[in-house]
Every structure is written in C-alpha cells, then in structure tokens.
Amino acid sequence: MTNFQVRTDLALEARESISEAESELRGVRVEEYYKEEEDVRVTKVMIDTKNAAKAMGKPVGIYVTMEAPAMVEPDEDYHREISECLAEELLNLLPGTEKEQSVLVVGLGNREVTADSLGPQAVDNLFITRHIVREYGKAAYNCEKMNLVSALEPGVMARTGMETAEIVKGVVQETSPDVLIVIDALAARSTRRLNRTIQITNTGIQPGSGVGNHRNALTEESLGVPVIAIGIPTVVDAATIVLDALEKFLDEEKELDAVKLIGKQQLNFPELNNMYMTGKDIDAVVKRVSYTVSEGINMALEMRMD
C-alpha cells in the first residue's frame, strides 16, 4: 500500500510525526512552556542542522508555535492577551529591535477566498507609518523614535499574472526595508489546531504551500533581507478528518496498535489529495484572528518615546 502523507505547515506537527526511534533526533531542540494566565502553550522547535531539516521537512531555523484553545471564541480580552504573547515572541525573532527599522509587512493570500484571506485582512488593521514619517517626520506622531511600517497585499498569480515572489522582490528592491514580516494561512494535520494555533518562524515562507501550490519562496536568501513568517492554520485536508475520526474511534476501543498505525499515517486516500476543509464559521473566525495578528505586530513594532 502506498503511504499517504497528511500535509502540515506546522513544525510542531512535523516533530510529532517523527517515530519514537527518531524522537531524539540530533539537530532538533524543543523548548516548551505554558502561560497559565493567558492559557497559551508555547513550543519552540529549533532545527540546527541540514540532516535534521531533511528529516523534519522544514528549513533550518526557529519555529515558535502558540496554541490557544479559546482563540476561536469572540472574547476581546482574551484576544488582546494573545496579541501581547505574539508581540513578545515576535520581538524575540526580529533582528535589530534595539534600533529603528523599516519594516515591510506582506499579507499573502486571496481576499476572495475566506479561508485564504488571513494575510490581506491582517494588513487592513496594521498601523502604517512610513509615508507619514517620510513626509512630515516623527513629529507627526509626537515621538523621537519610531519604526517605519509599510504594507503590501500582492494577491495571487491567477489575478496578477505574476509570482508573489516577483512582486515582493520588486518592492523590496525599491523600498529597501530592514526586515520583512509575511502573514499567510496555513494547513494543519490536526483539527484541534484549526484556527487555534499561531506559528512564527525566521525561515521565511513558500506562498501557496498550505494547499500544495508551491511557488517561489520568500526567504532571506531570495530577498536579501530577514524574513519572519506568521501563520495560522485555517484549513485541514480531508484525509486529516478521516484520520482524526478513526483515531478517536480506535482509541475509545483501546486498539492502541491501530492508533499507532494511524499515527504513522500508513494509509492511502488518493481521492482526498486535493480536498481541503474549513469550519462553517470561517468568515467570522478569520476576521477575528486576523485582527489578533495585526494587533500583535502593531505592539511589537511600536517604538515610541515621548
């Protein structure tokens, strides 16, 4: 039987999928802590070597995963706490935070497809400052120190006829930002992480990878500036739902060997390869979590001195 690999963009899930024999994989370090007050579990996966990167299927770098079970709930106070946690983790990955920087934020995705509109909707709520500071100076905001923030929504190739990487590279060459922050919707392997998880990484991103549409990567190597990627899984493939249902059923039946078999994903669902699922309330959820992401970025980039 041909193996079917359920896809995931989360390094945490890629780490979990490694067999027990490889669980102590050299070149991979994992740190985990729980923020009880915010009810957020943070897992940091650090891939240090090329061999580890090959085994994990992820580039060398740092992957921070924030799991917030109540992130789908319409609780503004809780979302504020998540934004604060996101800002804290983002600052730990951003280079040169001790000085003013020019930051370009790119919202990837298709605004017309709700589950793929996280990036564009997040860009809508950013605090954009570059044009004002360049025109009127920092006095316009009554401050002495400030990041220059600009934003871009490149759309998708079906609408523009251009690769996202081509558009972004042109803007980077013209505006010369110090760092790039990219926001995109991801795919998860577990339904319990759908819309409840934020991943931050310093390895960049490959647009369209969440649904298997591999485009040119947005990385420091390809663009010449550091790239921080922020993503939330908004879709799972159909096979994931099948696997989750089977695992739950077999777990209840105490068929542990069968559960382990499913955990290793030794199943074949060729007819489900190109089917992706999302929740029925995805429009409200994406609107809410995109605002949470944008507020986290705003908090991280706000550097004002009265």
112-122 pLDDT tens trace = 999 999 999 99
Chain centre to alpha carbon of residue 47? 17
> What is the Cα–Cα distance from 94 to 181, expressed in whole angstroms?
9
- Report the share of the chain in percent with pLDDT over 70: 81
Q: What is the pLDDT of residues 123-171, one digit of tens each?
A: 999 999 999 999 998 888 888 888 999 999 998 888 899 999 999 999 9
For the chain, the average pLDDT equals 83
Question: What are the structure tokens assigned to 184, written together?
Answer: 């995109």
Q: What is the pLDDT of residue 271?
A: 65
Per-residue pLDDT of the chain (306 residues; tens, 9 = 90+): 344 455 677 777 777 666 444 555 678 888 999 998 888 999 999 999 888 888 888 899 999 999 998 888 888 888 899 999 999 999 999 988 788 899 999 999 999 999 999 999 999 999 999 999 999 988 888 888 889 999 999 988 888 999 999 999 999 999 999 999 999 999 887 778 889 999 999 999 876 554 455 568 899 999 999 999 999 999 887 777 777 777 777 665 555 455 444 444 445 566 666 777 888 889 999 999 999 999 999 999 986 443
Q: What is the pLDDT of residue 217?
A: 86
The DSSP bridge pattern shows strands 148-152 and 227-237 to be: unpaired
Q: What one-character DSSP code corresponds to residue 186? A: E
The DSSP bridge pattern shows strands 102-107 and 197-201 to be: unpaired
Q: What is the pLDDT of residue 56?
A: 81
Q: Are 146 and 154 in contact (CB under 8 A)?
A: no
> What is the Cα–Cα distance from 121 to 73, expressed in whole angstroms?
18
Q: What is the pLDDT of residue 122?
A: 96
> What is the Cα–Cα distance from 54 to 58, expressed in whole angstroms?
7
> What is the Cα–Cα distance from 80 to 122, expressed in whole angstroms?
15
Neighbours of 38 (CB within 10 A): 17
- Tally the C-alpha atoms within 13 A of residue 227's C-alpha that lie toward its C-beta: 24
Q: CA angle, corner 112, sides to 110 and 113, nearest 5?
A: 70
Burial class of 145 by CB neighbour count within 10 A (0 to 12, 13 to 18, 19+): exposed
Q: What is the pLDDT of residue 159?
A: 86
Angle separating helix axes 238-252 and 256-263, nearest 10 degrees: 160
